[in-house]
């Protein structure tokens, strides 16, 4: 009786030892998870370095028509007693911002890869064409000072970009049938953008009706945002990249995604987008102190030709800050990104999360094999098996930096399965037994890959896998006499079926 108790406690001690071993094996799994996070951080640093030295994600705002004005007036000078002793000429600068009534955008985004060390960073080259028209007010804005007189400066066509380093070559544009030449920046205001001065005949041509046409080549990192500032904005973007990610305030109204690329169209009106008034509020709220608060057009008859145009006109600085706010969501945008179909660090991190489950299932399989076959496996052997599983995840991270993820996964899984087959064959004294346990590990790796590939169904598949393994174990051992197994008998302790009761 004492011997049976001793053996029973010995089996329980083995189970307890396996639990402790599982906890210890979580330490290398945690270190591998930390390594994945560190490598991902290094990749993100490479992305930021390329954004700082080449070009970042782009936000395109415009084209916009800027009409500068200088208001002149004469101001009385008075002495301390309030008597007029003379007059002095004063002036201040004002600026009217016109947004397009209609904007058409056609573009092709060609993917480009750049490298920083071993890390690949995805860029795009936009070959775009922008066309549309403005509604020009027939009268200048009303003076804000008594006796004021407005004098128009050189009008300009402006385009704001979040990173002008991405401009390739010289943009080509015509406005009112006249060719324009762009210059860097926007005169008088800080920030990033380009502008083209308009000769008087161009403005007159615009008032007659013809619109603008502009060709632009632009390099950006991964994402392109466009601010729909026109009353009617229509965009058509294509690319050979088969993995787009659509974002921003407005999704594409029509899109086709195939293995050969994507084709997307947007159609946005000022009735559904608040981008025009959002930009107007930003400009009015953040006008520099050097400009008079009265520089903003307030919708008066003399400031605009129509109510819609009046609402769109504001006088203020216009710089890259507005584009930056657009990219952060303060101003409505629609966007498309060239997404990476497989982020190797995200996939490796997700795989490592299942590491404890895979190790636990393999050790459980070895333990059941030991009990059913009346073999003796040392805790050190269990530990080596668990470490070999943990090494699989380390190999996966290392190889995925050099190969595609599925190739890295296949090589890591094959190496791990072959190692375990050879080890089990020697430890268990049978190549057949080693092949069986190795095949079991291979099935677990295949199931894990299915979990990783089905990101949207990963939780469901993981729950089904765990439930299925537990259900299989319970069904296979439903007639096992665990006390007989712990007693060390030569045959598995299978309870006989209950005899039928005769009536």
Residues 140-198 pLDDT 10s: 777 877 777 877 778 888 888 888 888 988 888 887 677 888 888 877 555 688 888 88
Q: Comparing C-alpha atoms, which of 493, 455, 239, 496 is closest to residue 347? A: 455
Stretch 1-12: mean pLDDT: 49
Question: What is the pLDDT at residue 217?
Answer: 92
pLDDT at residue 305 greater than cutoff 50: no
Distance separating alpha carbons of residues 28 and 135, to the nearest angstrom: 67
Question: What is the pLDDT at residue 93?
Answer: 81
Stretch 201-215: mean pLDDT: 76
Which tops the pLDDT comparison, 104 or 12? Answer: 104
Question: What is the pLDDT at residue 498?
Answer: 46
Distance separating alpha carbons of residues 17 and 21, to the nearest angstrom: 6
Q: How crowded is residue 408: how many other Cβ atoms within 10 Å of its Cβ?
A: 21
Residues 272-301 pLDDT 10s: 888 888 776 765 533 332 232 233 333 332
| Residue 165, token pair as written in the block | 């380093």
pLDDT at residue 113 greater than cutoff 80: yes
456 band by pLDDT with thresholds 50, 70 and 90? low
Which tops the pLDDT comparison, 499 or 71? Answer: 71
What percent of the chain clears pLDDT 70, i.e. is strictly above it?
A: 79
pLDDT at residue 439 greater than cutoff 80: yes
Q: How crowded is residue 381: how many other Cβ atoms within 10 Å of its Cβ?
A: 16
Backbone phi, psi, residue 408, to 5°: -60, -40
pLDDT at residue 311 greater than cutoff 50: no
Contacts of residue 356, defined as CB under 8 A and 6 or more positions apart, other chains included, come to 22, 25, 26, 29
Stretch 129-133: mean pLDDT: 90
Question: What is the pLDDT at residue 324?
Answer: 41
pLDDT at residue 494 greater than cutoff 60: no
Stretch 388-408: mean pLDDT: 87
Which tops the pLDDT comparison, 464 or 486? Answer: 464
351 band by pLDDT with thresholds 50, 70 and 90? confident
Question: What is the pLDDT at residue 315?
Answer: 31
278-287, 289-298, 304-313, 406-415 — which one is most confidently predicted on average? 406-415
Which tops the pLDDT comparison, 252 or 487? Answer: 252
Total-model pTM: 0.69
Question: What is the pLDDT at residue 33?
Answer: 82
Q: What SS3 class is residue 307?
A: helix
Q: Comparing C-alpha atoms, which of 100, 195, 205, 203 is closest to residue 152? A: 203
- Specify the pairing of strand 212-220 against strand 223-226: unpaired
What percent of the chain clears pLDDT 90, i.e. is strictly above it?
A: 12
Residues 38-61 pLDDT 10s: 888 888 888 888 877 888 889 898
Stretch 432-438: mean pLDDT: 85
pLDDT at residue 9 greater than cutoff 70: no
- Kindly report the average pLDDT of the chain as a whole number: 77
Question: What is the pLDDT at residue 219?
Answer: 92
Question: What is the pLDDT at residue 289?
Answer: 29
Question: What is the pLDDT at residue 114?
Answer: 84
Residues 77-91 pLDDT 10s: 877 777 777 778 887
362 band by pLDDT with thresholds 50, 70 and 90? confident
């Amino acid at each position: 009786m004492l011997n049976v108790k001793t053996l029973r406690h010995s089996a329980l001690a083995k189970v307890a030892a396996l639990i402790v071993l599982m906890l210890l094996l979580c330490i290398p799994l945690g270190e591998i998870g930390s390594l994945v996070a560190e490598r991902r951080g290094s990749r993100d640093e490479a992305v930021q370095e390329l954004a700082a030295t080449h070009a970042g994600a782009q936000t395109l705002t415009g084209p916009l028509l800027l009409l500068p004005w200088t208001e002149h007036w004469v101001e009385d000078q008075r002495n301390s007693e309030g008597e007029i002793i003379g007059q002095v000429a004063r002036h201040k600068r004002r600026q009217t911002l016109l947004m397009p009534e209609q904007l058409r955008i056609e573009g092709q985004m060609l993917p480009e890869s750049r490298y920083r060390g071993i890390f690949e960073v995805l860029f795009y080259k936009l070959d775009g064409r922008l066309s549309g028209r403005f509604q020009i007010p027939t009268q200048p804005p009303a003076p804000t000072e008594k006796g004021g007189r407005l004098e128009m400066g050189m009008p300009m066509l402006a385009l704001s970009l979040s990173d002008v380093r991405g401009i390739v070559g010289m943009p080509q544009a015509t406005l009112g049938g006249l060719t324009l030449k762009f210059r860097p920046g926007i005169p008088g205001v800080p920030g990033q953008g380009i502008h083209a001065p308009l000769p008087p005949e161009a403005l007159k041509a615009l008032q007659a009706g013809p619109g603008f046409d502009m060709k632009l080549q632009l390099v950006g990192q991964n994402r392109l945002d466009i601010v729909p500032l026109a009353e009617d904005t229509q965009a058509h973007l294509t690319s050979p990249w088969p993995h787009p990610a659509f974002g921003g305030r407005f999704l594409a109204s029509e899109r086709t995604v195939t293995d050969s690329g994507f084709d997307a169209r947007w159609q946005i009106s000022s009735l559904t987008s608040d981008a025009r008034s959002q930009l107007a509020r930003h400009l009015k709220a953040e006008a520099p102190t050097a400009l008079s608060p009265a520089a903003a057009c307030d919708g008066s008859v003399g400031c605009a030709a129509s109510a819609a145009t009046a609402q769109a006109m504001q006088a203020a600085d216009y710089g890259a800050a507005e584009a930056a706010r657009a990219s952060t969501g303060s101003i409505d945008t629609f966007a498309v990104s060239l997404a990476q179909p497989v982020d190797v660090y995200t996939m490796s991190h997700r795989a490592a999360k299942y590491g404890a489950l895979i190790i636990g299932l393999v050790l459980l399989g070895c333990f059941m094999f030991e009990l059913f076959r009346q073999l003796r496996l040392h805790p050190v052997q269990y530990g080596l098996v668990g470490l070999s599983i943990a090494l699989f995840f380390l190999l996966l991270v290392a190889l995925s930096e050099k190969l595609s993820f599925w190739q890295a996964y296949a090589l890591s899984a094959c190496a791990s399965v072959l190692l375990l087959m050879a080890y089990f064959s020697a430890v268990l004294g049978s190549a057949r037994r080693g092949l069986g346990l190795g095949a079991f590990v291979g099935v677990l790796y295949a199931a894990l890959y299915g979990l990783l590939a089905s990101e949207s169904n990963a939780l469901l598949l993981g729950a089904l896998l765990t439930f299925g393994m537990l259900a299989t174990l319970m069904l296979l051992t439903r007639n096992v006499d665990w006390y007989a197994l712990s007693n060390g008998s030569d045959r598995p302790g299978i309870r006989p079926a209950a005899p039928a009761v005769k009536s």
